[in-house]
Structures are given as structure tokens and as C-alpha cells.
């Protein structure tokens, strides 16, 4: 009886350990990932393994493809599990799991700092020592936004598809666009990339950075070539159903090209290289008579000069239409991490602008603009497909 009790205690202790073959396997998984040994990485999983990352389930083949897409735009990446936190447990059902906590790091061109994202993973092992199930959780939006920031807001042209969504149709529109984006990734379509953002008044902007107006024609050509591939992949009926739902959710849409003007935009030194953190925006629409265009430019230059002088904490980009002659409407987009961060920065900026020069600028608005309104919004990483950075 005494020996039986002792044996029971030993078995109970064995249900939790920080030293086990399964833990060594996770270390091998980590090493293969960091070294880019994808064949070795995949063999650590069982052939029928179920892998869930942030609610998206895949097999080992799809997982590897997704991981490769994520890191292809980085100049450095590393996943580092905390060795002292690796633990193996055997639960009441006799299942063997390894819990891991760590940090994913990456350097993305255009950022001055290293991206750090906490990761928590739990792995179930089968009798052969292979990973049969995985659940991993991390903030994927930080990665998407960092990739987006590397191209969104750079000097240059942006081809925009502006879509006005019907009331109560935003969720279905996002759902279909998310499925469409995932299908393009699955088929590895290299020609269709965009960054999406939505204002609070249900206007969505799909932004496509281009080098010249000729790129628009090329984009449309590539788009026409892509459709047969999509039809073959999911069938004409399903693709048609997607389009029907998109049409039903859309009130109206229009395409146009804008140009970001660097010397009419403002980024404080403290914000340079951190634009990927700014997922919230406030968009100003400014309309004016065409003959006041030069007065408008003088006004914006004075705003930028004062922002630099007082070191305003609120960055903004200036966009104007490329086609249609002298612009009579422009956009100014301010950026912040979230609504609370924007309100804090905006209040601080108001204090900095509360001087004779700032008040004089404010008085010029009424006489210069026929429309001067602002609408907030946020980036939409779940339906964006940022172009990999070479």
C-alpha cells in the first residue's frame, strides 16, 4: 500500500515537467523556423495536424506558406521562446501538451525600430512524438500594419478605389473581402496588392501605391488575367456569389488617383519609422474654388511650418487629385495609434497652436474653403494585402 501511494505520487509529478523530449522538439521547431529550414519545420508536425493561429486553421503546408509570406518582407526575423517557461503537461484525458511563451521579432524596411510581438503557443503531441494540434496567439495586426506603413504614406502616387457601403452591410463586405484576400494568398497571386481603410461614415478606401499612371492599366490587365484563375480555384458559381454580395453591400464606388506631397505633409522626428503603429486616422476634406489654389497652398505651407516650429505631436499626410486640372479638393489625413491617442495629441496640438500665428491660421479657413470637414476612421488589416517589400 505504501509503495502504491509512492508510485501514484511519482506519476502525478510526471504530469508536469520542464524537461521532456516534447520540449526538445519545440526547440527544434524554433530553430528550424529561425533558420528557414521549412522542410524540416513541416516534418515536425503530423501529416494530419490541425494548426490554429488566431482562429485561422491550416495544415502544415499552408502554415509554412503563410509564415514564408509574412517574413519575406523582413530583413531580419526571429522567434524566441522563453526557455524557462517551456512546460510539458499531461492532462486528465491523457493528452500530452507543451505550453510555450515567447517573442517574435522582426526588422521591416522603413521602420527605425525592431518589431516585438508576444507569442503564446500550445502544442499537442501524438504517440509518435509529432505535433498533432497547435494553438498560437499573437497580434497579427501589428505585422500587417507595419508592412502597410512601409508603403502607405511614402512619396508617390496612390490609385484609390473608394467604396460607399450600405448601412448594416459593413460586416458582410469585410467578410467577402477577407475571403478574397485569403484566396489570392493561397493562389500566390503576385499582382494584386492594396491597403484598406474605413471611415466612420462607412466609406472604404482600397489604396494601391503606383509608380506611374501606366501602372493602372497594368493593374487592370493583371486583374483580368487573375479572374480565370480564381474561377478555376473556387468555381464560377461561388465567385459570382461573392460579386453579388459585394454589389448588394455597395451603395456606390469610384476610382481616382491622388498624390502625396512630401513638403505639404508633416511627420515629427519622434514619429518617423513608427507609422506602422498608427492605425487610427482623422481625414479632412478641403474644398475650395480653383482660383484659390495658390492661396490654399500658402495656407498649408504655413500650417506645416508652424507644426515644425512648435513640434506638433500629430503627423499628417497631404493628398491631392492628380487628374482633372487644378485641384479644387484635397485630403489631409492625421494619424494616431487609436482614438484616445488621437484625442490626446490633438489636445496637445491645440495648446501649441494657441498663439497669435495659430489663431491667424484658423481665421483663414472660413474665407478660403467652401468645405472643411473631418471624419475619423481606421486601417483595415483583415482585408488589406500589402505588397511584399523587396
Contact between 321 and 327 under an 8 Å Cβ cutoff? The reply is yes
Residue 129 CA to residue 151 CA, distance in Å, equals: 43
Highest mean pLDDT among 1-10, 135-144, 164-173, 176-185: 164-173
Q: What are phi and psi of 69, to 5 degrees?
A: -65, -35
For 184-204, what is the mean pLDDT? 89
Residue 346 CA to residue 334 CA, distance in Å, equals: 10
| pLDDT for 351 | 94
pLDDT tens, residue by residue, 54-70: 887 888 888 888 788 77
| pLDDT for 323 | 64
pLDDT tens, residue by residue, 7-54: 444 445 478 999 999 999 999 999 999 999 999 999 999 999 999 988
For 298-325, what is the mean pLDDT? 89
* Residue 236 pLDDT > 50: yes
Of the chain, the percentage scoring pLDDT greater than 70 comes to 88
pLDDT tens, residue by residue, 77-123: 999 999 888 999 999 999 999 999 999 999 876 566 788 999 999 99
* Residue 147 pLDDT > 70: no
| pLDDT for 348 | 94
* Residue 274 pLDDT > 90: no
Contact between 79 and 119 under an 8 Å Cβ cutoff? The reply is yes
pLDDT tens, residue by residue, 208-230: 888 776 677 777 777 778 888 88
Residue 372 CA to residue 348 CA, distance in Å, equals: 21
Of the listed ranges 95-104, 266-275, 281-290, the one predicted with least confidence? 266-275
Residue 163 CA to residue 160 CA, distance in Å, equals: 9
| pLDDT for 313 | 93
- Mean pLDDT of the chain, nearest integer: 86
Q: At 96, is the secondary structure helix, strand, or coil?
A: strand
| pLDDT for 243 | 92
Count of positions (residues) in the chain: 390
* Residue 202 pLDDT > 70: yes
For 182-192, what is the mean pLDDT? 83
Confidence category of residue 6, pLDDT binned at 50, 70, 90: very low
pLDDT tens, residue by residue, 345-380: 999 999 999 999 999 999 999 899 999 999 999 999
User: Strand 250-260 and strand 203-210: pairing?
Assistant: unpaired
| pLDDT for 152 | 43
Residue 28 CA to residue 43 CA, distance in Å, equals: 11
For 131-157, what is the mean pLDDT? 71
Which residue ranges form the domains of the chain, and what is each CATH number?
14-138 (3.10.450.50), 150-251 (3.30.70), 259-379 (3.30.70.100)
Amino acid at each position: 500500500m505504501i509503495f502504491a501511494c509512492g508510485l501514484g505520487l511519482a506519476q502525478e509529478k510526471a504530469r508536469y515537467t520542464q524537461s521532456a523530449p516534447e520540449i526538445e522538439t519545440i526547440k527544434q521547431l524554433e530553430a528550424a523556423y529561425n533558420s528557414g529550414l521549412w522542410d524540416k519545420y513541416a516534418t515536425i508536425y503530423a501529416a494530419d495536424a490541425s494548426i490554429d493561429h488566431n482562429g485561422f486553421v491550416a495544415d502544415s503546408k499552408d502554415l509554412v506558406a503563410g509564415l514564408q509570406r509574412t517574413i519575406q518582407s523582413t530583413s531580419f526575423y526571429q522567434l524566441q521562446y522563453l526557455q524557462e517557461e517551456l512546460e510539458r503537461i499531461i492532462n486528465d484525458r491523457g493528452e500530452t501538451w507543451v505550453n510555450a511563451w515567447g517573442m517574435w521579432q522582426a526588422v521591416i524596411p522603413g521602420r527605425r525600430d525592431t518589431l516585438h510581438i508576444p507569442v503564446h503557443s500550445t502544442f499537442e503531441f501524438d504517440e509518435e512524438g509529432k505535433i498533432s494540434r497547435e494553438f498560437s496567439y499573437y497580434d497579427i495586426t501589428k505585422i500587417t500594419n507595419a508592412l502597410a506603413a512601409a508603403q502607405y504614406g511614402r512619396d508617390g502616387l496612390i490609385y484609390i478605389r473608394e467604396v460607399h457601403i450600405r448601412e448594416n452591410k459593413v460586416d458582410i463586405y469585410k467578410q467577402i473581402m477577407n475571403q478574397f484576400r485569403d484566396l489570392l494568398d493561397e493562389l500566390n497571386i503576385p499582382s494584386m496588392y492594396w491597403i484598406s481603410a474605413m471611415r466612420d461614415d462607412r466609406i472604404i478606401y482600397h489604396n494601391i501605391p503606383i509608380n506611374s499612371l501606366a501602372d493602372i492599366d497594368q493593374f487592370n490587365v493583371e486583374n483580368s488575367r487573375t479572374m480565370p484563375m480564381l474561377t478555376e480555384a473556387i468555381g464560377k458559381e461561388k465567385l459570382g456569389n461573392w460579386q453579388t454580395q459585394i454589389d448588394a453591400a455597395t451603395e456606390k464606388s469610384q476610382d481616382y488617383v491622388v498624390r502625396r506631397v512630401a513638403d505639404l505633409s508633416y511627420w515629427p522626428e519622434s514619429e518617423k519609422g513608427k507609422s506602422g503603429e498608427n492605425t487610427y486616422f482623422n481625414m479632412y476634406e478641403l474644398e475650395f474654388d480653383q482660383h484659390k489654389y495658390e492661396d490654399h497652398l500658402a495656407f498649408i505651407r504655413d500650417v506645416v511650418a508652424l507644426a515644425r516650429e512648435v513640434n506638433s505631436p500629430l503627423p499628417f499626410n497631404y493628398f491631392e487629385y492628380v487628374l482633372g486640372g487644378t485641384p479644387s479638393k484635397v485630403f489631409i489625413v492625421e494619424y494616431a495609434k487609436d482614438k484616445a491617442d488621437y484625442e490626446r495629441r490633438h489636445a496637445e496640438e491645440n495648446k501649441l497652436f494657441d498663439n497669435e500665428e495659430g489663431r491667424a491660421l484658423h481665421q483663414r479657413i472660413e474665407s478660403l474653403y467652401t468645405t472643411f470637414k473631418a471624419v475619423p476612421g481606421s486601417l483595415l488589416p483583415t482585408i488589406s494585402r500589402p505588397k511584399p517589400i523587396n
